[in-house]
Amino acid sequence: MTSGRLSTRIFLAFAGLALVILVGVAGSLFVVLRGLHADAATNALAQTVQPLVFQLRTASTAPQLRSAVADFRGQVAEGVQVYLVGPEGRALDLGEGVSPITFPVDATAALGTTVTGSLNGPGRQDLLYAVTIVRGPATAGVRAIALAEPDRSATAALRDLTRMMAAVLVILLLVGVPVVWLLSRSVTGPLRRLAEATAHLPTGPAGSAPPLTPEGPVEVRELTQRFNGMAAELTAQREHETRLLADLRHDLRTPLTVIGGFAQALGDGTAVGDDAARAARAIREEATRLERLVAELDTVERLRSGQAGLRPERLDGAAIVAATVERFAATGKPRGVTVANTCVGRTGDEALVLAADRVALDRILGNLVDNAMAAADAPDRHVWVDARPVAAVGGRGPGVAFVVTDDGPGFPPGEIERVFERFYRGDPSRSGTGSGLGLAIVRELARAHGGDAVAENVAPRGARISVLLPRSPGGSGA
């Protein structure tokens, strides 16, 4: 069962890595140390056997050989066995009950040659040996003398390794533990602050927590920066929702007040005759306004969720502009607003042909002209509608810009970025008959086509909104 704490996991990972390294190093050192101890032991045997060679050369009879062997055993260290070796390398039994053992003696080896190594002796015991040739190849009887002792190189190597590993482990703990602690703290500290800030974010007031300072490794700093961006976006979204709810309350209060007042007048009999008819008409108009408000809210949400269901077709931008101007010219005349077409004569221009949804494009231009007429709602004011080719729209290739300009008061300073928000009104004191959703729908429809909408003020007075649409969904032009 693993711990859920990151710091514990870091310590466990370090301990596991250290253990693997220690086992690997210990295994390698054991092999090296065992080889060194075995070489040292065989070298010692080789040095010991050299003085015995000269004593053995004078002995020829069996009693002399037995006496020499007994003498040799008194000269070597405890545990070292002395053997006389025949021509085939087999240990000779001089009547002492020598265990059968064969040493690797080369039949052609020269006099004085010493061979060292290890072999498996009697009782499957590992032996280290040194064999020195004392007589020529043609000599019968004793051919060489051998010294052998049990192989204790593994025990010696393990003893040395234990001492070395104890020192390495102490050094590893003294150096590694502080390093792991610092590493764990550099990671878990910022993550803990992120966890605390994340827990506070959903319930805390908007903008109440300052941005976190990026600390720790690169990945943790990037995570902190992204969290700060998310927190800022959430704060902006909360502020937007607060404004949205306030605007929605504002837009609902007037019709509900009118409906409630006239309904009460009808109910208590205050409104009779013509007054009753006016009350019913007012209730119907305000109910229609509420219904339009709900429908436009639904339109915005469907557009943002990608459920617009657009049906693109080949359209002539200049012809669409001409139809829009003709549709609104009569409406503006009684109000003293002139709606003018500034791309007259360009019908059929291939640069203004695009693939778009006809209903959506009519709604875009209708909302723009209606908004411009409301802003220029004064005697002798003008609204200009234009269509222009543009080189590129959002990386989709050439496009068409539909531009609506008015000579009204323009957008308030600092408010241009908000004009496409839901329920935005340049003059908060004016409620009018609009829902405040017209420009929001314009931008969402433009983005559904792969384009966008841009607002700006013009000199000396007035405002301009441009809707940029690609000529074709793939961006290759019509």
pLDDT digits (tens, 9 = 90+) for 434-460: 556 778 888 888 888 889 999 999 888
- Same domain for 316 and 458, yes or no, is yes
Round to whole Å and give the CA distance between 42 and 152: 11
pTM metric for this prediction: 0.47
- Same domain for 36 and 119, yes or no, is yes
Q: Which domain holds residue 133?
A: 6-156
Q: How many domains does the chain have?
A: 3
Question: Per the structure block, which two tokens stand in for 209?
Answer: 């927590």
Burial 157-190 (b: 16+ CB within 10 A, else e): beebbeeebeebeeeeeeebeeebeebbeebbeb
- Same domain for 123 and 66, yes or no, is yes
- Same domain for 239 and 332, yes or no, is no
In a domain, residue 174? The reply is no
- Cβ atoms < 10 Å from Cβ of 93: 13
- Same domain for 329 and 291, yes or no, is no
- Same domain for 327 and 286, yes or no, is no
Tens of pLDDT, residues 363-417: 889 889 888 888 766 678 889 999 999 988 877 789 999 999 998 888 888 777 7
**What average pLDDT does the segment 472-476 reach?**
57
- Same domain for 294 and 372, yes or no, is no
- Same domain for 316 and 462, yes or no, is yes
In a domain, residue 1? The reply is no
Q: Sign of torsion, CA 249 251 256 262?
A: positive
Which one, of 72, 76, 96, 101, lies nearest residue 86 by Cα? Answer: 101
pLDDT at 246: 64
Which one, of 424, 348, 343, lies nearest residue 388 by Cα? Answer: 343
pLDDT at 62: 64
Which one, of 379, 398, 380, 378, lies nearest residue 389 by Cα? Answer: 398
- Same domain for 319 and 292, yes or no, is no
Round to whole Å and give the CA distance between 474 and 395: 10
Q: How confident is the model at residue 478 (pLDDT cuts 50, 70, 90)?
A: very low
Q: Is the pLDDT of residue 476 over 50?
A: no
Residue 196 amino acid letter: E
Round to whole Å and give the CA distance between 34 and 305: 74
Q: Give the domain-ending residue among 262, 285, 304.
A: 304
pLDDT at 142: 77
**What average pLDDT does the segment 255-282 reach?**
76
Q: Give the domain-ending residue among 247, 273, 304.
A: 304
Round to whole Å and give the CA distance between 450 and 471: 10
